[in-house]
Amino acid sequence: MINVLGIDTRIFDQVSLLEKNAYRMATNVFLVVLGISLLANGYMGLMLYSSWIAALVFALFFGCIQFSILRIALITLLSKPLAAEEIAPVATLSQPSAVITRWNALKKMTNRLRLSSLFRVLFVGLIALTISFPFCSLLMLPKALVIEESHRTELIKANMSNMNEIRHTHFPFHVFKELLPETGFEILLCISVCLVFAPLVLVARLRYHSKFEYLEKARQEMLKLVAIDYDETLEQCQYSLNKDFPSNTKELKELSIYADAPINSVFKNETKHTIGNKTAFNQFIQSIE
């Protein structure tokens, strides 16, 4: 069941019991949200067409779409960049410690508020609304039926010529509109939206909590795989170059301008290389010809 979030069980077995329970809780809440999504979409299909086939189609089709988007929003939080983010010191010793602490907290918060995070919250929010309105209407089913029947009766009185068509028409959005001002519906709506957001909040806590180790262990394992692939590729290329010996005696590892290959984020000699410098790049290409 933990695989719903794309958890690597081999690494998952290495973390503490507390962290395992936290991931299981996030998974269970996500599955509850998925069940609510199926109920809400099925009820929406039933409201529109009064058909159990329509309810089944709506539940499966829209449920799969919402499941995919919600899962993507969660699993993209369960990974870290391979290159560790290093925050350069921004304060001198002469500054008060309180200022340093506040600046670091602000810097940390700013790093988290990225465009991807805003899009993640936006999409989950839209899904939360599309799930919550029909689901809360289902919880207030007797009142929803009364509102729809009352609206149908009014339309029949106003349009005597289209009585048969109106009798077979349903008005889910009118029901939502009439239920929205009611306090009970508003409370249920808030609870439902918070429940849809709950897996995202739990996974975000797992990502940024300093005591949880799974993401860092997964990052280290991925680094090992990347390093193995990099070394194998380098050995194969070096083997091809060695065939031209003695005309070619270059060692590819020595030609690398980076000190942390294969991440390639730290230069061996910072003063001789500038990121984005076209001249330096051309000189480097010419040096290995």
Mind listing the pLDDT tens digit for each residue in 37-85? Answer: 999 999 999 888 888 898 999 999 999 999 999 999 998 888 877 776 5
How many angstroms separate the CA atoms of 280 and 272, rounded? 8
Q: How far is CA 98 from the centre of its chain?
A: 34
Q: Using alpha carbons, select from 180, 115, 116 the residue that is nearest to residue 147.
A: 180
- Tell me which of 6 and 26 has the higher pLDDT: 26
pLDDT of residue 117: 82
What does the mean pLDDT of the chain come to?
A: 81
Mean pLDDT computed over 162-166: 67
Among 8-12, 69-73, 124-128, 131-135, the range scoring the smallest mean pLDDT is 8-12
What 43-49 contacts at long range (C-beta under 8 Å, 24+ apart), as own/partner pairs, is 43/134, 43/135, 43/137, 43/138, 44/134, 44/172, 47/134, 47/137, 47/170, 47/172, 47/175, 48/170, 48/172, 49/170
> Rounded to 5 degrees, what are φ and ψ at 258?
-105, 145
Return d(Cα 237, Cα 76) in angstroms, integer: 34
**Any idea where the domains of the chain sit in the sequence?**
2-80+89-212, 223-287
